[in-house]
Chain A
Amino acid sequence: MTDQTAYNFAYLDEQTKRMIRRAILKGLAIPGYQVPFASREMPMPYGWGTGGVQVTAACLVPEDRLKVIDQGADDTTNAVSIRRFFQRTAGVAVTEATAEATVIQTRHRIPETPLTEGQILVYQVPIPEPLRFLEPRETETRKMHELEDYGLMHVKLYEDISRHGQIATAYDYPVKVEGRYVMDPSPIPKFDNPKLGGNAAIQLFGAGREQRIYALPPYTQAISLDFDDYPFTASKADHACDLCGAPDSYLDEVITDDQGSRMFVCSDTDFCASRRAAGHVGPMGAPSAGAAEE
């Protein structure tokens, strides 16, 4: 990767992008269905977002403005690395502002700021198969999807309730798409699950190592699995952000000393920074001058 001119726009050759776009279109046509695609070896390791990177590469056009987040943050090392990759190979504009981005690649979060029509949210997916840890064989799980046989999943959720009094899945919480396919939303916290359904943006999911792409077109129904008497609840730490005071954003817990002190801050760095810039101050936050400086 020393000579960027040696590579095509957004790294992948046009044939490969075409193959990926076909998989994306098929995914959009059958929401929640995992489309096998001939995933390529990328210059970053499997498990570090190669599926998301390939989907993003296939979606990008020179006019795009790209945002990359990992754990909700724009400045985590792998987000920095992927953003740089596209700056180098596609030369597209980048942004940290959710509202200004046309394509957002994410790992483990959906931004707090609601997405709008025309935006594409690309998820990095480690294990695309929601049934994988119930049945390790791909040959079996594909059959189960074909037959819409999701009994095993319901038994798992039921066993959770009988053992723990609640469904003991905190992230990677499965959803049912348009009443048909059970889909793995990637390891987002279940706090983010309600944003999957009815979203104005196109949501694309890329699993590189497992060679699967799936999608949620705009305004698609995606319902988190639950029972009538044990309804799904989105949960988060019972605090407000200590920096910006937001009461309703997903929070990271930060250990601040070895005496057990801790604070809670927004995992979505753009959301938190823009709130502080607008004058919101949390219990441990500094006024916005500090926010601009760091």
Chain B
Amino acid sequence: MYVAVKGGEKAIDAAHAWLAEERRGDTSVAELSVAQIRQQLALAVNRVMAEGSLYDPDLAALAIKQARGDLIEAIFLIRAYRTTLPRLGVSTPVETAQMAVCRRISATFKDLPGGQILGPTFDYTHRLLDFKLAAEGDVPAAPTAPASLDAVPHVTAMLNRDGLIQTEAEGNATPPDLTREPMELPTTRPLRLQAITRGDEGFILSMAYSTQRGYGRTHAFVGELRIGTVAVEMDIPELGFSVEIGEVELTECETVNQFKGSKTEPPQFTRGYGLVFGQTERKAIAMSLVDRALRWKELGEDNTGAPAQDEEFVLMHADNIQATGFLEHIKLPHYVDFQAELELVRKLRREALAHGEAAE
């Protein structure tokens, strides 16, 4: 005798209990602390903050722990939490020219004011598994030097002194807020940059890579890549001036792109821009390439039909929380629509077969 299946509620509770146990793993192994994740998996924390659009390393570390290391799941936890936070105010724009840099390199000039600072990078490491790390984590102290007090001006600002690079329009207009207004197309550059900075690192990377391989090529050089902390200031109306309320770590990339000129613009260099929370340089470089590719219309370039030039394609598919949700929802029950399809296919087959027999 068939009895309709019930017990979804019990199954859900049991699944959650099992999940919690799996997350903890073997209890004879010490539990991972949030502080350990924050300190020792800092680049994962940075990615979660960047794509979660919330600068809070402790919460990001907690999310990574809760998500069992699944970063997209962790980003989702942060996004869902972020929605519930009230908007207390808006900061003044951060001054990346005033950044206290821990890394700053330019691929276009051998030396420049402020100097090249390699910083804590994987770039010139040999990717050999370090088996010593499996046993012990002690590292000798790194050599130090006194922090330089020299200003570190933007490379592009120096180029612009000769008029060699296109000037970005200054403006005090409040940029639109992607998280508070529905995305309407066509968009503006500030909105595009918001969408890309929280977009999936893998997607943005692949889009940028596609431009390098010729799908909307933009001939990019890394004019400058800088990582460091900037002060966040807020205007307090009661005080009449702005106060520093904290600082955030940012990665900023400006590309210098070859440009032969168009009907509307003289030959000059143009720019792509990337700005991402935390030390996230792969994302920041990729962002600046995608930004530049999307500027074809504004610069009077040809649309070659490359995916990275297509704003609707890039922006509507960059968000990994939207993508993963919709992708994974196909595992939810679809008996009703499937049943309707089943009836239709049966009917079509019946008619096709009857037709075949009649023809014989």
**Which residues of A are interface residues toward B (Cβ below 8 A)?**
6-7, 11, 13, 36-43, 45-48, 50, 70-72, 75-81, 84, 107-109, 126, 137-139, 164-166, 168, 170-172, 187-191, 209, 211, 235-237, 242-243, 250-254, 256, 263, 265, 267, 269, 272, 284, 286, 290, 294
Contact = CB atoms under 8 A, between A and B. Distances in A.
B80 A253 contact: no
A265 B335 CA distance: 12
B334 A108 contact: yes
Given A38-B181, A46-B325, A75 B8 contact: yes
Interface stretch (B56-64, B81-89, B119-127, B255-263): B81-89
Contacts of B205: none
Given A7-B84, A170-B341, 16 more contacts: A40-B83, A41-B179, A42-B83, A47-B329, A78-B333, A80-B9, A81-B12, A126-B326, A170-B337, A170-B343, A171-B340, A171-B341, A172-B337, A187-B336, A267-B335, A284-B2
Contacts of A50: 325
Given A38-B181, A286-B1, A70 B332 contact: yes
A179 B214 CA distance: 48
B180 to A, nearest CB: 5
Contact of B83 (A41, A80, A84, A252): A41
Interface residues on B, range: 35 or more
A272 B6 CA distance: 14
Contacts of B246: none
A165 B347 CA distance: 11
B4 A165 contact: no
Interface in B306-360: 312, 316, 321-322, 324-330, 332-337, 339-344, 347-348, 351
Contacts of B185: 138-139
Contacts, number: 155
B341 A47 contact: no
A278 to B, nearest CB: 17
A79 B8 contact: yes
B102 interface: no
A32 to B, nearest CB: 18
B175 to A, nearest CB: 15
Contacts of A138: 185, 312, 316
A176 to B, nearest CB: 20
A192 B181 CA distance: 33
A251 B339 CA distance: 8
Closest 6 CB pairs of A and B: A47-B329, A46-B325, A45-B325, A170-B340, A36-B182, A47-B326
Given A47-B327, A75-B8, A267-B336, A236 B182 contact: no
A190 B340 CA distance: 8
B324 A45 contact: yes
Contact of B329 (A11, A72, A126): A126
Contacts of B140: none
A290 to B, nearest CB: 7
16 contacts: A7-B84, A36-B182, A40-B83, A41-B82, A42-B83, A47-B327, A47-B329, A71-B335, A75-B5, A77-B12, A84-B9, A138-B185, A235-B343, A272-B4, A290-B3, A294-B3
Contacts of A40: 83, 179
Contacts of A250: 336, 339
Contacts of A164: 348
A81 B325 CA distance: 16
B333 A109 contact: no
Interface in B20-42: none
Given A76-B8, A254-B2, A46 B333 contact: no
B79 interface: yes
A208 B93 CA distance: 31
